[in-house]
Amino acid sequence: MVRQARSEATRQRIVNAAVELFSEVGYQATGLGDIIERAQLTKGALYYHFDSKEALATAIIEEGADIALRAFRSISDPSSPALENMIHGIFVVADLTTSDKMVRTGTQLLKAFGEFNAVTALTHGHLLSEMVAQARQAIAEGDVRDGLDPEAVGEVVVGAMLGAELISNAASGGADLVDRVARTWTLLLPAVASAESLPYFAEFLSRESLRHLPA
Amino acid sequence: MTEQLDRRADATRQQIVLAASHQFARKSYSQVNLDDILTQAEVTKGAMYFHFRSKHELAVAIINHQTALSYEAMNEVLSRRLAGLETLIDVSCLIVGKDIGDDVCRAGLNLLESIGRTDGVQTRVLGEWTSAFAEVIRRAIAEGDVVADREPEDVSRVLISAFMGLRQTSDVNDPQRYFTDLQKTWALTLPGFANPDRIGYLNQFIKRRIALAIHNAKPLT
């Protein structure tokens, strides 16, 4: 029991050291030796937990995605309208992508590995299925335009957010992400919300943008 | 070994609190009979007196338990990171929902009314609630939803008085009515402290939540 806890603490120390180094000097420039030195551990300890730098990167992607997913789930409460959850959820995730080192590094690694890492499909898949579930609920609550498919709505929203993230990374190193997310939602909302619900959600969105944007 | 004993004692204590909540949620303080609690909790009188020296002490424990659960619920809502005033609206819906369908919440609030005047229990519990709400109102002022010249503690006290009064004038067994009355309470109090520009939006925000809350409500059986 105690041993397990200690082993978990060591693993976390390695992951945290890797997150720091990857975000300071980048994935390519970081060697396993640097990580061992930063974590103040032996080579053996590192190899006990991770057999390669890529395994370490995968762990960071998973942990970051897990933090973001848990944040999204925690706000997807049945007591609030699902379309609010969809809007609010994207802002909360965007905030975490800016402020949380694990999420930010995980997101960057995800992009670097996107082509050939199975974890990519899985990570986006989880967020997508949460979003589709919310879209389905929003349709049931009558806040979505007639005839829209929940899968399509979920895909477009998640896709647009990932795209905003990409552009934001290219344009500002991720600094203007929340602003881009706000603008993306402004364009998407009239395509998603029903005519009667649009004015309310447009105001919900503009309040959300104001609150999340740096003053 | 002692740890195991402690855990068993905790479980027994919890069993008594839950059984007693079931009783206090449905009957007034004076009507609740200790024997009924013992039967339902399946514990002996000795076990009960080991944990609670009197019916009064048991009642205060339920109030404290309910207060702790409400704070947990409030922190949960705070972690959703909505605007301050939206958070308070959500908390009010959540607590009304629990008052409708949860033994411990219903019992705790009933008891706060019936025995809260002795030993300063009401003063303490409502005082803590007032400060907790005032903290969030302060944020709502910074966010522009509450007008700047209102005293946060005053706004907080008015809201809590309105909610505590509401459960007496409304019907806790009728979700439709209780939630509709909650909506009216907000609609009537908001103009006293909310920024006039925001009132239209806030009423919509409340209306949408109340509709969902009525739909999701599960009354006590």
- Per-position pLDDT tens, chain B of length 221: 466 767 777 889 999 999 999 999 999 999 999 999 999 999 999 999 999 999 999 999 999 999 999 999 999 999 989 999 999 999 999 999 999 999 999 999 999 999 988 889 999 999 999 999 999 999 999 999 999 999 999 999 999 999 999 999 999 999 999 999 999 999 999 999 999 999 999 999 999 999 999 999 999 88
Q: Which two tokens stand for residue B79?
A: 């972690």
Range B62-216: architecture per CATH: Orthogonal Bundle (1.10)
- Residue A115: which pLDDT band, with cuts at 50, 70 and 90? low
Contact (CB<8Å) B80/A77: yes
Judged by CB atoms within 8 Å, which residues 164-203 of A form the interface with B?
200, 203
Chain A residues whose beta carbon lies within 8 Å of the beta carbon of residue B197: none
CB contact under 8 A, B90 and A79: yes
* Nearest Cβ partner for B212 among A75, A79, A207: A79
Residues 6+ apart with CB under 8 A from B28: B110, B114
Whether ipTM > 0.85 holds is no
Q: Is A4 on the interface with B (CB under 8 A)?
A: no
Q: What is the pTM of this model?
A: 0.87
Q: Compare CB distances from B79 to A74, A79, A203 and report the shortest one's residue.
A: A74
For position A117, what pLDDT does the model report? 61
Round to whole Å and give the CA distance between B144 and B150.
Answer: 12
Residues 27-66 of A with CB under 8 A from B: none
Mean pLDDT of chain A: 90
The answer, for A212 touching chain B at a CB cutoff of 8 Å, is: no
Which residue segments constitute the domains of chain A, with CATH numbers given?
A: 1-51 (1.10.10.60), 53-212 (1.10.357.10)
pLDDT band per the 50, 70, 90 thresholds, residue A21: very high
Q: Of how many residues is chain B composed?
A: 221
Chain B CB contacts of A203 under 8 Å are 201, 204
The stretches of chain A forming alpha helices (DSSP H) are 2-25, 32-39, 43-49, 53-75, 82-99, 101-113, 118-140, 150-172, 177-192, 198-212
Instruction: Give me the pLDDT at residue A174, please.
Output: 82
Asked if the C-beta of B80 comes within 8 angstroms of chain A's C-beta atoms, the answer is yes
User: Nearest C-alpha of chain A: how many angstroms from B115?
Assistant: 32
Residues A193 and B192: their CA atoms lie apart, in Å, by 32
Residue of A nearest to B80 (CA): A75
Residue type, B192: G
- Inter-chain CB proximity B83 and A211 less than 8 Å: yes
Q: Does B100 touch chain A (CB under 8 A)?
A: no
